[in-house]
Structures are given as structure tokens and as C-alpha cells.
């Protein structure tokens, strides 16, 4: 019977076999729609409304611009806008009704007060309200060339300079003996572990304000796994764990992290949330110096690379911060920030893997355990250094 069955099925063309389940699915959906078996469940449900205010800008002294997105399953009609608990005249484009995932821009002429918080509320046709608290109303920088330069400088301060400074420890690291070199590698792993956790946490924090439809948490997890996997595959294929190769991977991972960090910083400056901007920038500079140490550490083992390789590595790790501050300052989107941060987290994870492998191999060659007390102390010191320097940027 088995034989005849298989003979019979062999007569049916393959493409038919492939299409049968799909056909059945279509029939089932058609039946579902026609018969509406869920009718007992449909009462007088109000439409599920979900609006997210993505951004509030203050382009001029008497202007407010609100960007809002409909992240819910149904169209939403914005009926009125309240600023500081008062109905206020507004223009909305493209229109009052937002389809699913449609974005709208609301413009108001409102005499906002510089440096003071400002609550904004949208009220829909069904009376549902969506709140947003602007922490400080501050004139939004224009997208002029002067500001482009200022934001670029910001990126250099938090990205390129600290990385380059950290790499200047290279000559010192070269002088110390092998045992201590492994400690420095372990220290690098510690720094990276901190960065990995920090990047993920930041991604989750921003992910909270994403409209539900974008599924912030899975997006972050899979974004991280994706970039980890891609970089692993790239690493395997190249089969290259030369000092420069490892340093490049580290620089790439840190670069992605700095891109995300730059985004957040740029957005903070643009929205005026960075009231103590200069202090913050110094904090980031100190905090990120350790990233340079991490990049330089694997280079100690081989020949001293050419200067342009150092410059290239510093730019690879630091320059994305410039791009980040530009995007964050002029076109911040939480979705973009979450994607970059999770890709960065995955990249850092991959670097942790690479550097740890170096450590383990080195230990094996010398017939020692990789997790010696000394190495563990180095790792702990790495986490601790990052933790303590983070005091400067977290409040």
C-alpha cells in the first residue's frame, strides 16, 4: 500500500503539491470572511487606537512641530490638539486621519516659554488621549552648515578623539610582558562586556517608545543575533585572526556602538534635553577613551602596524559617532536608533568572542588556564573602569 501510494503521488507534478496547502489556505480565509465565525465575540468594541508622538520640534519662537505615527491596527482621527491643557489651533498634514503606520506632522503657532516643560496632548475623535511631555522647550537648531559642523564636532569629541587617545597607549602596552598583555586582553573583554550590556539596555529603553507594531524587544534581540551571526560568518570565512584583523573587528563593533550613542546624543542636543551639554561631552570623552585601549590591545602581539592602520582603526571606531549625531540631531527616529544599537550590540558580542578566543589560545599554548585569577582581575577591572567612568554620563 505504501508503494502504490508513493507511486500515485509521484504522478502529481511537484508544483501542484507545493501549491495545494496555499490553495487550501485561500479557501479557508475566504470561508472565514464569508461565515464570520468570530461574530459572537464582536460586541461594541471601540476601535483600538494607538498614536505615538515621535518628535516635538520648536523651529521658531512661536512654533511647535509635532510628528506623530499611528502604530495601532485601525485608522485614527486626530480631532484636537491640547498644549499645556488648552485646546489650540493647529494644522495637520497630510490629514487628520492616519492610516496604520502613517505619519503626520502637526504645526502649531504657540508662544512656548523657553526652558520650561510643555505637555502636549492629542485627542482623537473617540475622545482617547495621547500625552507627551516635552521636558524642556528649546529652540531646535536649524539644519544649516554651521550646525552640521557643530554636530560633527560633537561626534568627534565623543567618538574619534577618545578612541584615538586610548590607542596612544599602544607604545606603553607594547613594552609590558606577555603575562600582563593577557591581562590587558582580559581587561578589553571586560570593557566590551560592559559596552554590550549598556548598548542593549539603551536599545531596550528607546524601544519602549516605539509603537507596538514594530515589536521593539524582538527587534533588538534579533538585530543583535543578526549582526553577531553576520560578523561570525565573515570572520570564519576569512579565517583570519591576525592582530590587525581582530583589531578591525573590534573597531567595527565599537563603531556601530558609537553610531547608536551618537544618535542618542544628537537627539538629546536637538531636543534641548542636554542642558549640561558640555559636561556631558567631557564625560563621554573620558568614558570612551577605554574603547581605544580595547582596539589597540590585540595589535600588541604582532608587528607594529603602519600609522595609517591606526588612523583607519580610530576612524572606523570613532567616526560613526559623527554620522550618529547628524542623524540624531536632524532626523532622529527611535526605530533607527533601536536598529543601530542592536546591530552594535551584536557586533560587540562578536568581538568579545574573538578576543576571548585569542586569550584562550594563548593560554593553551602556554599550558595555562585562560581564566586565571590575574586574567579575571583584568576582566573585572575592565567592567569596573567602564562602570565608574559611566558615572560621568549617567545621572
Which cell numbers hold the place of 82? Answer: 491640547
Choose one: 11-19, 162-170, 268-276, 373-381; the region binding another protein (CB under 8 A). Answer: 268-276
Which residues are 61's β-sheet partners? none
d(CA 378, CA 366): 19
**By CB under 8 A, residue 276 contacts another protein:** yes
d(CA 147, CA 274): 16
Do the beta carbons of residue 265 and residue 378 sit within 8 Å?
no
Q: Measured from the CB atom, is 63 or 372 closer to another protein?
A: 63
d(CA 319, CA 306): 20
Residues 299-323: b if buried by 16+ CB within 10 A, e if exposed:
bbbeeebeeeebebbbbbbbbbbbb
Choose one: 29-37, 277-285, 343-351, 352-360; the region binding another protein (CB under 8 A). Answer: 277-285
The residues in 243-262 that bind another protein, with binding defined as CB under 8 A, are: none
Choose one: 1-9, 26-34, 129-137, 241-249; the region binding another protein (CB under 8 A). Answer: 129-137
The alpha helices in 332-372, defined as continuous H runs, are: 334-365
The binder of another protein chosen from 69, 200, 247, 268 (CB under 8 A): 268
The residues in 4-43 that bind another protein, with binding defined as CB under 8 A, are: none
* Shortest spacing between CB 48 and another protein, in angstroms: 14
Q: Measured from the CB atom, is 81 or 355 closer to another protein?
A: 81
**By CB under 8 A, residue 86 contacts another protein:** yes
Do the beta carbons of residue 254 and residue 295 sit within 8 Å?
yes
Ordered DSSP codes for 68-100? EEE-SSS-EEEEEEEETTEEE-EEEES-SEE-T
Residue 104 makes CB contacts below 8 A (sequence gap 6+) with 67, 68, 69, 78, 92, 93, 94, 95, 98
Choose one: 25-33, 150-158, 171-179, 363-371; the region binding another protein (CB under 8 A). Answer: 150-158
**By CB under 8 A, residue 62 contacts another protein:** yes
The binder of another protein chosen from 50, 69, 90, 192 (CB under 8 A): 90
d(CA 259, CA 256): 5
The residues in 162-201 that bind another protein, with binding defined as CB under 8 A, are: none
Tell me, residue by residue from 304 to 343, as one string, x for binding to another protein by CB under 8 A and - for no binding. Answer: -------------------------x--x-x--x------
The binder of another protein chosen from 19, 131, 172, 179 (CB under 8 A): 131
Nearest to 298, CA basis, from 253, 350, 245: 245
Q: Measured from the CB atom, is 48 or 176 closer to another protein?
A: 48
Q: Measured from the CB atom, is 283 or 378 closer to another protein?
A: 283
Choose one: 26-34, 121-129, 240-248, 370-378; the region binding another protein (CB under 8 A). Answer: 121-129
Do the beta carbons of residue 391 and residue 282 sit within 8 Å?
no
* Shortest spacing between CB 84 and another protein, in angstroms: 8
Amino acid at each position: 500500500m505504501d508503494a502504490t501510494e508513493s507511486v500515485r503521488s509521484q504522478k502529481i507534478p511537484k508544483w501542484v503539491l507545493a501549491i495545494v496547502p496555499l490553495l487550501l489556505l485561500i479557501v479557508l480565509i475566504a470561508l472565514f470572511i464569508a461565515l464570520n465565525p468570530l461574530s459572537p465575540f464582536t460586541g461594541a468594541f471601540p476601535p483600538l487606537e494607538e498614536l505615538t508622538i515621535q518628535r516635538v520640534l520648536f523651529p521658531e519662537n512661536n512654533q511647535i512641530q509635532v510628528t506623530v505615527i499611528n502604530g495601532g491596527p485601525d485608522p485614527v482621527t486626530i480631532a484636537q490638539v491640547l498644549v499645556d491643557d488648552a485646546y489650540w489651533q493647529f494644522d495637520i498634514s497630510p490629514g487628520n486621519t492616519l492610516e496604520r503606520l502613517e505619519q503626520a506632522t502637526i504645526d502649531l503657532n504657540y508662544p512656548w516659554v523657553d526652558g520650561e516643560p510643555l505637555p502636549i496632548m492629542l485627542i482623537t475623535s473617540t475622545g482617547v488621549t495621547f500625552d507627551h511631555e516635552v521636558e524642556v522647550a528649546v529652540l531646535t537648531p536649524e539644519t544649516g552648515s554651521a550646525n552640521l559642523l557643530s554636530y560633527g564636532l560633537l561626534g568627534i569629541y565623543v567618538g574619534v578623539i577618545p578612541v584615538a587617545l586610548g590607542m596612544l597607549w599602544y607604545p606603553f602596552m607594547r613594552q609590558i610582558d606577555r603575562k600582563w598583555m593577557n591581562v590587558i586582553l582580559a581587561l578589553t573583554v571586560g570593557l566590551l562586556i560592559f559596552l554590550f550590556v549598556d548598548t542593549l539596555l539603551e536599545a531596550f529603553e528607546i524601544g519602549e517608545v516605539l509603537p507596538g507594531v514594530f515589536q521593539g524587544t524582538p527587534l533588538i534581540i534579533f538585530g543583535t543575533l543578526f549582526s553577531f551571526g553576520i560578523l561570525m560568518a565573515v570572520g570564519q570565512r576569512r579565517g583570519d585572526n591576525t592582530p590587525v584583523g581582530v583589531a578591525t573587528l573590534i573597531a567595527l563593533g565599537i563603531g556601530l556602538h558609537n553610531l547608536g550613542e551618537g544618535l542618542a546624543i544628537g537627539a538629546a542636543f536637538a531636543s534641548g534635553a542636554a542642558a549640561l551639554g558640555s559636561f556631558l561631552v567631557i564625560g563621554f570623552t573620558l568614558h570612551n577613551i577605554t574603547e581605544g585601549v580595547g582596539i589597540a590591545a590585540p595589535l600588541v602581539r604582532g608587528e607594529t602596524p603602519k600609522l595609517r592602520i591606526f588612523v583607519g582603526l580610530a576612524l572606523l571606531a570613532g567616526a560613526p559617532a559623527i554620522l550618529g549625531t547628524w542623524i540624531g540631531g536632524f532626523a532622529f527616529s527611535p526605530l533607527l536608533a533601536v536598529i543601530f544599537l542592536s546591530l552594535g550590540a551584536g557586533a560587540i558580542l562578536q568581538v568579545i568572542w574573538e578576543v576571548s578566543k585569542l586569550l584562550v589560545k594563548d593560554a593553551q599554548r602556554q599550558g595555562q588556564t585562560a581564566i586565571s585569577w590575574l586574567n579575571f582581575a583584568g576582566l573585572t577591572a575592565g567592567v569596573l573602569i567602564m562602570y565608574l567612568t559611566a558615572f560621568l554620563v549617567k545621572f
